[in-house]
Amino acid sequence: MTPDWLDKKEYPFESKYIQLEAGRMHYIDEGEGPPIVMIHGTPVWSFLYRNLIKILRKKYRCIAMDMIGFGLSDKPEGWSYKPRAHAANFEQLMEQLQLTDVTLLVHDFGAPIGFAYAINHPEKVKNIVMLNSWTWSLSKHQTFTGISKYLVGPLGKFLHSKLNVSALTLINELFEGEDKMPEPIRQHYVKALGNPDDQVGKLACARELIGITRWYDELWKERNKIQNIPTLILWGERDKLIKIEALQCWKKFFHESYVIPFEDSGHFLQEENAEEIASYVSNFVKEEKKKRELIHQ
């Protein structure tokens, strides 16, 4: 059922669902062509990708899910909401869709979810597009190449400091500086979290992301399986949550990466720069396809 607060002109997509053990997970599947799978972060949902999808679906098959607990997906009480569980749900969706030659477009907490899939199925992932993200342990006791002192779970730290505020306050702070965002658009993020008066500590976005998890450590140990995948990095340099040092880490992480900085943009490039992002993504996918074709000639 479409909620009454959802503006179908703004989000003009057919809702699809996959039934999981945790509940129904919502996703959209628009357009035809090479698949681009978009994975959201915290505490947003596939609505963040709406403007990219409107453009890219003309040439590509665009898929974007709402993780359980987010957006139009079920929000079950008592489910673990651990990152590993989200990744398992994404794996089930990808298994159902049977996609190959995938471009993964990841942002924020969506990066470890997407990378877990890529590590398990590197033969199916041809390209990665990354927006401001991290994929390392949230435990301040973990050390990866000496960088953990400033790369330790920036979003987790932020959420931990906001556990006693409402969802409305959290959204307003996350989108602080997004002066051009109309209030009806902002409300789509607030209302998708459920009761806007609930404290953040009760929400899926905060239950597990601020804790210590071995899962990030396990991913990091398997990173060599994805380091050779061609990667486009689009980075908002005014991000308050994930600092520029993380970008330097990613530039060293991938063996073939292209970096496009956005000097005047923050954490949510999808809201601020949708047309530019769509253009960069489309050109990147086309160029990488040409390279592979030349290699196989």
pTM: 0.91
Instruction: State the Cα–Cα distance between residues 209 and 100, nearest whole angstrom.
Output: 30
- List the pLDDT tens digit at each of the 297 positions of the chain: 789 999 999 999 999 999 999 999 999 999 999 999 999 988 899 999 999 999 999 999 999 999 998 999 999 988 888 888 999 999 999 999 999 999 999 998 899 899 999 999 999 999 999 999 876 654 543 433 333 333 345 666 677 677 677 777 777 777 766 667 788 998 999 889 887 777 666 676 666 665 556 787 788 889 899 999 999 999 999 887 777 878 888 888 899 999 999 998 888 999 989 999 999 999 999 999 999 888 877
Nearest to 48 by CA among 58, 56, 38: 38
Helix (H) or strand (E) holding 115: helix 110-120
Cβ neighbours of residue 18 closer than 8 Å, sequence gap 6 or more: 24, 25, 27, 92, 93, 96
